[in-house]
Amino acid sequence: MVTVPGNATGSLETGGDIDIFAIDLSQAGEVFVYTAGDTDTYGYLVDANDYLIAQDDDSGSGYNFAIRAQLDPGRYYVVVEGYDFQTIGGYTLTVGGDGGGQPGAPTPQIGVSAEGVQVSDGQTTPVGFGEALVGGRSTRSFTVSNSGDGVLQIDGVSLRGADAAQFRVTVAPASTVDPGRTTRFKVTYAPAAAGNHTAEVVIASAGGGEFAFPVAGVAGGNSGDDHADDIAGATALTLPGSLAAHLGEGDTDVFTFTVDSRSQVVARSTGDVDTYGILLDAAGEVVAENDDGGNGFNFRIRRRLDPGTYYLMVEGFDQFETGAYELDVR
C-alpha cells in the first residue's frame, strides 16, 4: 500500500518479475505515478476490477515510466515490470496528486532548454536554426520542465513576428507536465524564400502567462528530401513493414501506419545514426517517444495501441546528426 502523496522502494529481482502496489483515493482528483532510478521500468495503472487505465514506458526521467490520470475515489493498483525479461534492479515509486485529500497550494515552475542549452524567458539572443535551403527543413527540439510542486498546464506553443510563417511547430508539447517531469516540442524552420528570418516562440500557460524567446535562421538555394517533414506528407507504411531512409542536417522523417485491432506495436530504427523517435496519434498528440532504447544509439518504442491511424517522426538526436537508417514497425 502506498499513501497519496507518498513513495515506496521496490526491486525487480529476477527477469519477468512484477511488483504490484495498491493506492486508495479518498476523493476524486488528478494523480501522477512514476519511478526513479537506473532500472528500465514499464508501468500500468489499473482499477479495482483490473481494468487498464493507463500504461507508460519512458515518459519519466531516463528509462523510467510516468503516468498521470484523473481518478474517482476508490482503490487502484500500480503494476511495475521491467522493459523486457532481462531487466532487473531497484527503483523508487512515487505517487502524488490531489486524490489523497492533502492540503496545500502547489505551484508549477516552468523551465525551457534547447537540446541541453538553457533558454531564458525574454532573452534577446535568438536560438539559431543555422542555414537551410529554400524548400528544405531545419528542426530543433525544445524541452519544457516543471521544477515546481504543482502541475504545469500548457495552453499551446505559437510563433509571432514578421517571419513567423517561415517557422512552424511540428510537434506540440503535452498539455500538462507533472512536478519533476518534462515534455518536448519541436519547431521547424521551413523557409519559402531566401534571406535572414527571425521570429518569436511563445509558450502559453494557464492563467494568461507566457514564456517567449527569439529564433533565427538563414535560407538560400533549393533542396529535396526522401520523406516529408510533417504529417500532411507522411510516408505510408503497412504493418509489419520496414524501409530505408536518410536524415539530412536538421531533417525529420514522418511516417504513418494504421492499427486494425488493439495490439502491441514495436517501432525501431537500426544503423549508425543516433535517432530519436516520436509516436503520435491521429490528432497529432504525442503517445510515446524514445532516444536510445534500441541497439546502439537507435530509438525503440513499444506501445499497446487502440485501432486507428498513427504517425511516427524520426529525427537525429541533434540537428547535426545525419546518415542512413532502417525503420522497422511491427
Domain of 245, CATH number, reads: 2.60.120.380
For residue 224, the model assigns a pLDDT of 54
CB 246 within 8 A of CB 310: no
Choose one of 97, 123, 154: the last residue of a domain: 97
- Residue 18, C-alpha cell as written in the block: 512484477
In a domain, 154, yes or no: yes
Residues 295 and 214 in one domain: no
Whether 105 is covered by a domain: the verdict is no
Residues 57-92: pLDDT tens digits?
887 777 888 888 889 999 999 999 998 888 999 998
Which parts of the chain register pLDDT below 50?
A: 101-105
CA distance 230 to 237: 15
Closest CA to 41 of 94, 90, 7, 76: 90
Amino acid, res. 64: N
Last residue of a domain, one of 73, 97, 121: 97
- 207 and 235 housed in the same domain: no
- The verdict on residue 257 lying in a domain is yes
* pLDDT at residue number 245: 82
Identify whether residues 218 and 152 lie together within a single domain: yes
C-alpha cell at 93: 515509486
Quick one: pLDDT at residue 103?
A: 37
42 and 130 both lie in a single domain:
no
Together in a domain, 206 and 270: no
Given 97, 119, 153, which residue is the final one in a domain? 97
Contact (Cβ atoms closer than 8 angstroms) between residue 189 and residue 137: yes
Q: Are residues 209 and 250 in the same domain?
A: no
Domain coverage including residue 285:
231-329
Do 236 and 304 lie in a common domain? yes
Q: Is residue 276 part of a domain?
A: yes
The answer to the question of residue 104 being in a domain is: no
